[in-house]
Structure 1
Amino acid sequence: MKPVAEMSALELSAWVCDALYRQGIEVVLSGGACVMIYAENKYMSYDIDLIDCYITPRKKLRSVMESLGFSEHHRYFVHNESPYLIEFPAGPLGIGDENITDVYAIDTPLGQLRLLSPTDCVKDRLAAFYHWGDLQSLEQALLVAMAKEIDLENVHYWSAREGCSEQYIQFTNELKRRQQ
């Protein structure tokens, strides 16, 4: 196995995700680390958010993470050989009022990583822009949309249900401008 100190965010996430899955704990990568993977490192994040799809007792999560060499510090798990912090936001897996049922998987030599689809990753970042005015999240959504094929009709429909049609137009106008 590759040393933890040499693992990329993708590799570390896959290794942890796979180890948890083997113990019956289902997690899905979201947030900035998901953006980093899809945007091919044009955005950097050292926070790995693995959404706990079910309500896993913290004691069980802690046991698996400790077996991998992590220790718990407040809400994060840290490994002394890695710059990445791992957090387990509670499920259910969703973006705004929409539950997520389809997830992507990336197979790596260190295990399988389950993560939001590129379209859902864009919606996840747009949710922070829509509801909190977070311009960094808008930038992240644009980076993913520029790097991967996304379903803009799906994003448009979701945006309307979130009551954010005007912000969606801002997003698509900026996307079109950058694609020219």
Structure 2
Amino acid sequence: MRDLSRFSHRELAAFICQHLRGRGVDAVLTGGACVTIYTRNRYKSTDLDFVNVSGASVNVIDAALADIGFLPEGRIYVNSKVRYSVDILNPPLSIGENKISETNTITVKKMALRLLIPTDSVRDRLAAYYFWNDLQALKQALMVAGSNPIDLEAVEKWSKKEGAREKFRMFREKLEKNKL
């Protein structure tokens, strides 16, 4: 078994994604881990959240992750040699009721990592801000939007559908202020 303790956050995410794919599990990285990648580690997530878009069974996922030393503890998987936990979320890949079809694939040390596109990473973080008033999630959305090209019109349209017009306005103002 490979020594995962030396892997960076990005390397571990790519390794797990590729390992799962080899076991028939198509997984897409979401959540704060995408923020870590899109902000080049300015934000540091302590976990790796994947959506099991293939709908593989828990038994298949448990066995695949056990192969690389991650064992279930409640709903997350931990490896005592690694500082990051892993969570495998059920399909579909979505933000609220909005299903996501487009993903990004990056290569990390010859390993393919599927993750949310920057626009959807921003929407994912804004969802936590909109629905739970999570100010840390707002900050994360601003960090991703300030560091990557995003489709701000799509974010605005989605925000209006979610009934968060005023919170989106605040997000946009903060984003424009940060770009000055």
TM-score by shorter chain over 0.5: yes
1:148 equivalent in structure 2? 148
1:6-155 correspondence to structure 2 within 5 Å: 6-109=6-109, 111-155=111-155
1:3 equivalent in structure 2? 3
Question: Partners in 2 of 1:27 and 1:145 — Cα distance?
Answer: 24
Question: Partners in 1 of 2:16 and 2:150 — Cα distance?
Answer: 27
The amino acid across from 1:131 in the alignment is F
Q: Output one character per residue of 1:116-161: Cα deviation in whole Å (capped at 9) or x when no partner.
A: 0000000000000011111100000000011111110110111111
**Which runs of structure 1 show a deviation greater than 6 angstroms over 4 or more consecutive aligned residues?**
none
CA contact (8 A) 1:38 1:148 kept: yes
TM-score, with structure 2 as normaliser = 0.96
- State the 1:55 CA deviation: 2.6
What secondary structure, in the 3-state scheme, does the structure 2 residue paired with 1:88 have?
strand
What secondary structure, in the 3-state scheme, does the structure 1 residue paired with 2:142 have?
helix
- State the 1:24 CA deviation: 1.4
Question: Partners in 1 of 2:16 and 2:118 — Cα distance?
Answer: 21
Question: Partners in 2 of 1:60 and 1:11 — Cα distance?
Answer: 22
Question: Partners in 2 of 1:91 and 1:159 — Cα distance?
Answer: 22
What secondary structure, in the 3-state scheme, does the structure 2 residue paired with 1:69 have?
coil
What secondary structure, in the 3-state scheme, does the structure 1 residue paired with 2:89 have?
coil
- State the 1:54 CA deviation: 3.5
CA contact (8 A) 1:107 1:113 kept: yes
Question: Partners in 1 of 2:105 and 2:79 — Cα distance?
Answer: 24
What are the ranges of 5 or more consecutive residues in structure 2 without an aligned counterpart?
none
The amino acid across from 1:164 in the alignment is A
The amino acid across from 2:156 in the alignment is H
Paired residues in the alignment total 180
Question: Partners in 2 of 1:107 and 1:179 — Cα distance?
Answer: 29
Question: Partners in 2 of 1:43 and 1:155 — Cα distance?
Answer: 21
What are the ranges of 5 or more consecutive residues in structure 1 without an aligned counterpart?
none
Question: Partners in 2 of 1:18 and 1:58 — Cα distance?
Answer: 18
CA contact (8 A) 2:24 2:56 kept: no
Question: Partners in 2 of 1:38 and 1:3 — Cα distance?
Answer: 25
What secondary structure, in the 3-state scheme, does the structure 1 residue paired with 2:42 have?
coil
Q: Output one character per residue of 1:87-135: Cα deviation in whole Å (capped at 9) or x when no partner.
A: 0111100012211001000112252110000000000000000111111
Question: Partners in 1 of 2:6 and 2:139 — Cα distance?
Answer: 28
- State the 1:2 CA deviation: 6.5
2:176 equivalent in structure 1? 176
